Amino acid sequence: MHRHADAVVAGVVFALTVLLTVVSFPPYKIPEFAYAMLVPGIFWAYTKPRLGLYLKTLFASQAVAWTLLLGWLHHVTWVGLALIGPIVGAWVGSWFLAAWWVLPRLPGKSIPIRLVAMLGLAGVWVLIEWSRTWLLGGFPWLPLAASQWERASILQVAAYTGAWGISFVLVMMNLGFGAYAHRLFREGATGFNKRSQEFFLALFLLLACVSVHFQESFNRRGYTVPLARIALVQPSIPQEVKWDAARAQGILEVLTQVTLAAAAGRPDLIIWPEAVTPMAVRGDETAKTFVESLVRRTGIPLLLGSVAIESPRTDNEAWFNGAFVATPGEGVARDYYAKRRLVPFGEFVPLRPLLGWIEKFVPIGGDFRAGETSAPLLLSLRGQSVVFGPLICYEDTFPNLARFSTLSGAAVLTVLTNNGWFGEGGAAYQHAAHAVLRAVETRRPVLRCGNAGWSGWIDEFGGVRATVTNEAGTIYFRGSRIIEVSRDARWIDRNTFYVEHGNWFVLACAVLAAFAFAILKMNEVPVSPPTDAE
């Protein structure tokens, strides 16, 4: 009977955790569930469940949830989806091991010890998220903070802590709700004792975030200054023809058509997405000539994504995924930005001596090379020099890349990407959520241009000011839109605390986690959670 009851509880926790995790993130528009997605596992941990059953249940729930969240990857590779979903799930789900160890030790402890333990657990979550930016090459897709990309009220603290601070507060809210539920339903608290100090601490932190929002976002009148009219072009080139040499002329005709249509509105700048030309604009004279001819025809500067081939047809040949500037007077500028974070099995094969038998899903022979600097690009718009900090493909999911671009002088961050690989599911919206976080962290406008969506403009406070859609309201289409982009004068040539000081909050979380562990060990009353043998 006891085993049957455990199985029922495990099934309920599994189902609720999967459901709440999936619907907390884009493309779903109910991010409030992120405040409770961990609560089933937290509430269960208080009851001292068997370790094996607890971990199997929570790890399985995370594996399923992340496989569903990354389901768009099947358009590229089913095998990759089957591997990466469970890996990321186990990576994120490892937090529940800390919760299982900490939470059963808290009932009966003093308020300060319980609060320190909660802060330490939230710190562990941040450390796990931070490890996803570098461990195993890094895959920081969808940190918990990304769930709130359309809720500016909680985002503003990122200018001080990075997105880590948002995730920290969300985990604290989950822990607060879990502690409150345990106090009511397990400890049988009544009357005045129903209060949960853990919940009130979490609520205080949430209100602190909201207060930053009021201070930063509602005092903007009179500070908005125009930047430029910028055309975002979506050529919507299907992936199955993108690298087919026989289809190159057709692709150039599409680029010409959509660019001339955009130029008719006389914008100050036209932006193309990642690797948009079928040939390398650096290293292939045909592509370079095409771009320069089109720019002269429009009379409008162009910021584009393309490939650079250095030292072509030699033993030192090197391929780069780059961002370039072309102007009517000077053509394609010599200096360009080279992508710093390459996609494993897309742009290179990691551990090639061991894994060289695995083909890349991008049909280009050989590996790309990674750029080594932020290399911002300079453009003259309306008589003023504006420094653009390019981010290519999924580089905007790495906080440090946007930070280094800002430190290098970028006044505007520009994301050139190609989500055409992933169909018309949730990938484009999930990806766009990261750009919102980078905008708040750096207090820089972010212009995002995708092959077929999501394209748009995000202001310095994470507000989505424009989204490129067609008459039917969809982001997935071929065409363009001209956007009137402005800046907040208070943040021109000024860096945020996060940009200046980097991941200080991650270090603070490590200290919190270590301190909480030490306090619990010092005040430990032996507990013996049931073993699998029992």
Q: Has residue 356 got a pLDDT over 80? A: no
In a domain, 279, yes or no: yes
Query: Residue range 290-304: average pLDDT?
Result: 98
State the chain's mean pLDDT as an integer.
91
Query: Residue range 396-414: average pLDDT?
Result: 97
pLDDT tens for 521-533 read: 998 865 555 555 4
User: Is residue 276 located within the same domain as residue 312?
Assistant: yes
Query: Residue range 491-495: average pLDDT?
Result: 96
Q: What is the pLDDT of residue 194?
A: 65
User: Is residue 288 located within the same domain as residue 370?
Assistant: yes
Q: Has residue 319 got a pLDDT over 50? A: yes
In a domain, 104, yes or no: yes
Q: What is the pLDDT of residue 192?
A: 47
DSSP H stretches of helix in 25-138: 39-45, 51-69, 78-93, 95-102, 111-131
pLDDT band at 61 (very low <50, low <70, confident <90, very high): very high
In a domain, 527, yes or no: no
Q: What is the pLDDT of residue 216?
A: 73
User: Is residue 149 located within the same domain as residue 263?
Assistant: no
55 HSE (CA, 13 A, CB side): 13
Query: Residue range 237-241: average pLDDT?
Result: 83
Sign of the alpha-carbon dihedral angle for 200, 97, 517, 129:
negative
User: Is residue 215 located within the same domain as residue 228?
Assistant: no
In a domain, 494, yes or no: no
User: Is residue 190 located within the same domain as residue 332?
Assistant: no
Q: Six-digit token pair at 163?
A: 């997105």
pTM: 0.94
pLDDT band at 196 (very low <50, low <70, confident <90, very high): confident
Q: Could you give the percent of the chain with pLDDT greater than 90?
A: 78
pLDDT band at 117 (very low <50, low <70, confident <90, very high): very high
Evaluate whether 107 touches 523 at the Cβ level (below 8 Å).
Answer: no
Evaluate whether 441 touches 498 at the Cβ level (below 8 Å).
Answer: yes
Query: Residue range 71-79: average pLDDT?
Result: 85
Q: Which domain covers residue 90, as residue numbers?
A: 2-219+503-522
User: Is residue 154 located within the same domain as residue 231?
Assistant: no
Single-letter residue type at 461 = F
Which stretch of 123-132, 208-217, 421-430, 479-488 has the lowest confidence by average pLDDT?
Answer: 208-217
In a domain, 493, yes or no: no
Q: Six-digit token pair at 132?
A: 């996803």
User: Is residue 156 located within the same domain as residue 257?
Assistant: no
In a domain, 531, yes or no: no
Q: What is the pLDDT of residue 528?
A: 54
Q: What is the pLDDT of residue 316?
A: 87
Which domain CATH number covers 262? 3.60.110.10
Q: Could you give the percent of the chain with pLDDT greater than 70?
A: 92
- Other beta carbons less than 10 A from residue 101's beta carbon: 16
Q: Has residue 487 got a pLDDT over 80? A: yes
User: Is residue 186 located within the same domain as residue 275?
Assistant: no
Q: Radius of gyration (Cα) for the chain, nearest Å?
A: 25
As for how many domains the chain has, the answer is 2
**What DSSP line would sit under 141-186, residue for residue?**
-S-GGGGGTT-HHHHTTHHHH-HHHHHHHHHHHHHHHHHHHHHHHT
In a domain, 498, yes or no: no
Q: Has residue 357 got a pLDDT over 60? A: no
Query: Residue range 429-458: average pLDDT?
Result: 97
User: Is residue 283 located within the same domain as residue 412?
Assistant: yes
User: Is residue 202 located within the same domain as residue 252?
Assistant: no
User: Is residue 290 located within the same domain as residue 383?
Assistant: yes
Of residues 249 and 350, more confidence is placed in 249
Q: Has residue 382 got a pLDDT over 80? A: yes
Q: What is the pLDDT of residue 246?
A: 85
In a domain, 529, yes or no: no
Closest to 202 in 3D by CA, of 234, 182, 229, 177: 177
Query: Residue range 330-352: average pLDDT?
Result: 81
- Other beta carbons less than 10 A from residue 187's beta carbon: 15
User: Is residue 40 located within the same domain as residue 170?
Assistant: yes
Q: Six-digit token pair at 228?
A: 């430029």
Q: Has residue 345 got a pLDDT over 60? A: yes
Query: Residue range 54-67: average pLDDT?
Result: 97
